[in-house]
């Protein structure tokens, strides 16, 4: 396929490189001056999209996605497919899909899970929204860039799945960090805490696979000075998206709302920016009941 790839940052760059390595003709564009192995660079987003079978976008937010869509959709041939892999608000994802479909294109919103490591290794998980025909066109590319793709439903369903998942993740990480901090103050050994909880009803991904306590459980960012695997500011972004969606859908999400407020305090008023989202543990360690 001839593929236009817009947004070649830490995630988009390796994703585009994997497509090129698999033999696809990839033309890229990014506002920054970047070079990606196997990818021919265009002078604009519209130029990268022109004459392609598929355009893939990996962008920071919904406003930028809408702006890029305004540029690339008119440049794309009828019948081509627009795949947005950004994590953005559900309303923007649906608006861009409607715009693409009105122009005779297929559209898929397909945010990813797996981080920069997964992008490089080609082991991402894609959560996709769009028509059956659009998903079928995108699926072979998902197989190159990732290890799993789930068709979640119509336009916006991929974004909905991503933000619901990450709302659970943010809430659960806070609870895990609070529990370790409480265990410390109660004199309970962290390894013993892990041994009990990881095989009991408190079992969770944040405890068992991504433990926030250094030296406990499998290797995680906690064992590397909390250097980001998934940065706290990205968790804050996703929690804000979850609450924006909750407001739009009139959904009561008090735990998600509180998790957003705690991560906002951690990132914007404390020292959480640039740390992994599991660095909430040292934050709670330092605080007392009424701190």
H or E element that contains 233: helix 232-249
Parallel/antiparallel/unpaired status of strands 112-113 and 106-109? unpaired
Cα–Cα distance, 190 to 192 (Å, whole number): 5
Is 162 one of the catalytic residues? yes
For the chain, what's the residue count?
291
C-alpha distances (whole Å) from 107 to each of 71, 76, 79, 92, 137 are 15, 12, 10, 13, 10
Look-up of token digits 């992994």: 276
- Helix, strand and coil percent figures for the chain, each rounded to 5: 50, 15, 35
Q: Which two tokens stand for residue 64?
A: 């930028």
Catalytic hit among 2, 78, 137, 162:
162
Q: Which two tokens stand for residue 4?
A: 């236009």
Q: Which two tokens stand for residue 145?
A: 């860039």
Cα–Cα distance, 26 to 20 (Å, whole number): 6
DSSP letter (8 states) at residue 213: S
DSSP letter (8 states) at residue 24: -
Q: Which two tokens stand for residue 19?
A: 């497509």
Report helix, strand or coil for 124.
strand
Cα–Cα distance, 26 to 8 (Å, whole number): 12
- Whether 18 and 57 have beta carbons less than 8 Å apart is answered as no
Cα–Cα distance, 255 to 175 (Å, whole number): 10
Q: At residue 276, what are phi and psi to the nearest 5 degrees?
A: -65, 155
Q: Which residues are catalytic?
A: 162
């Amino acid at each position: 396929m001839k593929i236009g790839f817009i947004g070649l940052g830490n995630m988009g760059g390796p994703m585009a490189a994997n497509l090129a390595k698999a033999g696809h003709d990839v033309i890229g564009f990014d506002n920054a001056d970047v070079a990606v192995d196997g990818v021919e660079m265009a002078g604009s987003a519209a130029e990268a999209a022109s004459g392609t079978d598929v355009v893939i976008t990996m962008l920071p937010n919904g406003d930028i996605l809408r702006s890029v869509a305004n540029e690339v959709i008119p440049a794309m041939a009828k019948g081509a497919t627009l795949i947005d892999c950004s994590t953005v608000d559900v309303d923007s994802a649906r608006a861009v899909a409607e715009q693409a479909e009105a122009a005779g294109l297929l559209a898929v919103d397909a945010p990813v899970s797996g981080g920069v490591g997964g992008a490089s290794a080609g082991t991402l998980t894609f959560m996709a929204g769009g028509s059956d025909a659009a998903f079928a066109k995108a699926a072979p590319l998902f197989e190159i860039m990732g290890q799993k793709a789930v068709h979640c439903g119509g336009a916006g369903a991929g974004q909905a799945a991503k933000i619901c998942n990450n709302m659970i993740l943010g809430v659960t990480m806070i609870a895990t960090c609070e529990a370790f901090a409480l265990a410390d103050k109660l004199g309970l050994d962290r390894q013993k805490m892990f041994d009990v909880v990881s095989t009991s009803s408190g079992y969770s991904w944040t405890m068992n696979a991504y433990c926030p306590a250094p030296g406990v459980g499998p290797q995680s960012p906690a064992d590397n000075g909390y250097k980001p695997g998934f940065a706290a500011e990205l968790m804050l972004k996703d929690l804000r998206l979850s609450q924006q969606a909750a407001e739009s859908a009139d959904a009561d999400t008090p735990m998600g709302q509180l998790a957003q407020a705690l991560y906002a305090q951690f990132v914007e008023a404390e020292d959480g920016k640039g740390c992994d989202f599991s660095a909430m543990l040292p934050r709670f360690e330092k605080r007392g009941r009424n701190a």
